[in-house]
Amino acid sequence: MILRDLLFEIGTEEIPARFMTWAIAELERAAAEDLAGLRLSYESLKVTGTPRRIVLYVENVSERQEDFEQTVKGPPKTQALDADGNYTKSALGFAKSRGVQTQDLRFETVGGVEYLFAVVRESGKDAAELLPAFLGGLLKKLVFPKSMYWKDPSVRFARPVRWIVALWDGDLIPVSFGGVNSGYTSRGHRFMGSQSVNIPIAKDYWEIMERESVIVDHERRKEMIVDGIEKIEGEIGGRAERDSELLEENAQLVEYPIPFPGSFEGEFLDIPEEVLIATMKKNQRYFPVRDSSGRLMANFIGVSNNRARDMAVVRDGNERVLRARLHDAAFFWKEDLQKPLESLLPRLEKLLYQERLGSVLAKSERVRSLASRLVSEMGWDDIAEAVDRAAYLSKADLVTSMVFEFPEVQGVMGREYAKRGNESLAVANAIFEQYLPRFAGDELPKALEGAVIGLCDRADTIAAIHKAGLSPSGSQDPYGLRRAARCVNEIIWGMDLDIDMGALLGESGEALEAGGDVMAKVFDFYKNRLHNQLRERGYEYGTTSLAVASMWRRPLQAQRMLEAFDEVSGAEWFGSLVLSAVRVNNILGKLTDAEIASVKLTEDKLKVTAEKNLKEALDRQGSVVSDALARYDWKAVSKALSDLSPAISSFFDDVMVMSDDPAERSCRLALLLKCRDMFDSIGDFSLLK
């Protein structure tokens, strides 16, 4: 079979970097899926791109589709043949619907019944016939968060498409999109390459584009950026913060990366470093640099998309832009320091939290009250004063000039302004740490004060947004409730806080005057998020369901219960216990309330050894389980269950529960009721079956 390479280049105006990573992944997924559907084999598939092009390259694609054969089930033989053994209208209609002749029909037995089957055969087509529709379909499948149209309003893409290269080795594949027809002509680098570049054959594409100063492979561009950064680090004696997202963004902003060094006046280092870093990363996409002791240096590393004759000109231009932004930051810093945080609180009344939920001031007052209650309930009297003060000031920095300009430094500026306003260090740090963790893998609060405010703030958010009728649906979660719940659990687990989240969420609902239907949704939402997080940690679905059903209100205990049961879930005694628990529920579930009420345990009626042993085991282990549950000692609970398991198994092996003797039956059912009571005190073991 002849194999050919497929090249598909979509040339555009500059696509935003934030779109590119998604577009590359989506095109790769769609192309692999469609090629499989077309039954076209290939050796490798690669999707990459630059700001001006998205490229699909498939190596050694088969020149022809694989032949297709499928056996399709039709009507039963009794309906397919008439009394004379001829095909009925039903059988002939089935053959026609499958596009086969009667000679392609046959009978096969399935489950003791004969059915008519059609053998559908389809000869493979030449790939050249299929590729135009395949490539055109891919273009239509790329739906960006924001799209543009340039001629036909019905044809949209991230940015206007200016050229298309579609080659099957050296043969042109006809594709048309947005008024642009495919051809052999691409374009080089906007500044360092040619405006018209001929691609005669697919395999030469990469080499030709590199000669035109276009590094098409975004992974290679990242490597070039890292290599350039390492070289500059040696020259300036520092180490750049190699933020993976910033590296990805820079790689998607350029076609030929040229890292360059830059610097700024040391006086700007008096501004909090988070502001300097935000200015460099967010506004300019620069890599900040630190010295060997970890202190921020008055240096940065940028990435240019143009190798100028004199790179000093590029450096000077970037330094001027950064200097202007830092002057603005310095001005905001000095201006904000003139006003104590407390004086800014009235302005929070005019800052809307959510149109159905009022102002940020109202929210912060709810959080303050909630934090005070939580501290009191947990007996954390030593931090009560600091928590109250920090909660009072927690959102004041939202109306400062610095946070208005750089929203990502909320909390950071609150901490810095609090320090300079003679607030205690505990209060200042809590204002910052209320936002931790900010993202997956971020640090947790170091002190309890910030953790308390953060937990109460997120609990209020979850309840408030549900009350507003804006709970998450599908992939939509504009208010970040899933993230809020995740952060709550990460804080509780990471800091070993045995908090009753059921009570905390309930108190949040009370403050908002949320109805019972709303709170039912809040609780269900939180339980689902807790279950998902525990599942992400690798625990089995059944044991996770048991832990969440029993202990969702106390997520720390849910995790500890899960850890204890997960350790023994593979043990033989545990499997036997689960089966016994299910049998107990099945037997008792068939009884009426009146029958259960009449059950009585008379000890002198216990004649069989297995009955007596179970009674003794229940009496002995019942108190052990009760005491262990009161202490949340899950190891002790597990040990008690392991001691109880043999007695229950023997009981079911040796005893007929539903005895004809009413007294015996009553005693045995009474034992099962005691078993059920013990199981129910721990959780629903039927979830483990």
Q: Over the stretch 364-381, which tens digit does the pLDDT of each residue have? A: 999 999 999 999 999 999
Res 311 pLDDT > 80: yes
The class that CATH gives domain 344-536 is mainly alpha
- Give how far Cα 455 sits from Cα of 61, 458, 469, 495, Å: 55, 5, 22, 12
Mean pLDDT is lowest, of 61-65, 159-163, 173-177, 674-678, for 61-65
Res 1 pLDDT > 70: no
| Interval 125-144 mean pLDDT | 92
Q: Over the stretch 166-215, which tens digit does the pLDDT of each residue have? A: 999 999 999 999 999 999 999 999 999 999 999 999 999 999 999 999 99
Q: Specify whether the CB–CB gap between 285 and 260 falls below 8 A.
A: no
Can you read off the two tokens belonging to residue 514? 């949320």
Res 152 pLDDT > 70: yes
437: preceding bond cis by omega (within 30 degrees): yes
State the DSSP code for 607.
-
Mean pLDDT of the chain: 93
What is the pLDDT, as a whole number, of residue 632?
A: 95
Q: Over the stretch 285-308, which tens digit does the pLDDT of each residue have? A: 999 999 999 999 999 999 999 988
- Give how far Cα 502 sits from Cα of 177, 522, 618, Å: 55, 10, 31
What is the pLDDT, as a whole number, of residue 273?
A: 93
Question: Within a 10 A sphere around the Cβ of 593, how many other Cβ atoms?
Answer: 7
Mean pLDDT is lowest, of 418-427, 602-611, 613-622, for 602-611
Name the CATH superfamily housing domain 3-65+126-211: ACT domain (3.30.70.260)
- Strand, coil or helix: 296: strand
Q: Over the stretch 323-337, which tens digit does the pLDDT of each residue have? A: 999 999 999 999 999
Q: Over the stretch 632-641, which tens digit does the pLDDT of each residue have? A: 999 999 999 9
Can you read off the two tokens belonging to residue 490? 């990460």
**Closest to 50 (Cα-Cα) out of 17, 5, 6:** 17
What is the pLDDT, as a whole number, of residue 686?
A: 86
Is the domain 566-688 a CATH 1.10.730.10 member? Answer: yes
- Give how far Cα 285 sits from Cα of 17, 164, 301, Å: 11, 30, 9
Give the whole-angstrom CA distance, residue 447 versus residue 27: 46
* Half-sphere exposure (Cβ direction) of 98: Cα atoms closer than 13 Å: 26
pLDDT interval class at 145 (50, 70, 90): confident
Question: Within a 10 A sphere around the Cβ of 224, how many other Cβ atoms?
Answer: 19
Q: How many percent of the chain have pLDDT more than 90?
A: 78
Domain ranges of the chain: 3-65+126-211, 68-122, 218-337, 344-536, 566-688
Give the whole-angstrom CA distance, residue 430 versus residue 437: 13
| Interval 464-473 mean pLDDT | 93
Radius of gyration for the chain, computed over Cα atoms and rounded to the nearest angstrom? 35
Mean pLDDT is lowest, of 88-92, 232-236, 466-470, 487-491, for 88-92
Q: Specify whether the CB–CB gap between 367 and 357 falls below 8 A.
A: no
pLDDT interval class at 400 (50, 70, 90): very high
Residue 556 or 439, more confident: 556
What is the pLDDT, as a whole number, of residue 509?
A: 96
Res 123 pLDDT > 80: no
Res 236 pLDDT > 70: yes
Alpha helix positions (H), 285-440: 311-337, 341-344, 360-378, 384-393, 401-405, 412-420, 425-433
pLDDT interval class at 81 (50, 70, 90): confident
Q: Over the stretch 245-265, which tens digit does the pLDDT of each residue have? A: 999 999 999 999 999 999 999
| Interval 61-78 mean pLDDT | 84
State the DSSP code for 112.
T
Beta-bridged to residue 113, according to DSSP, are 110
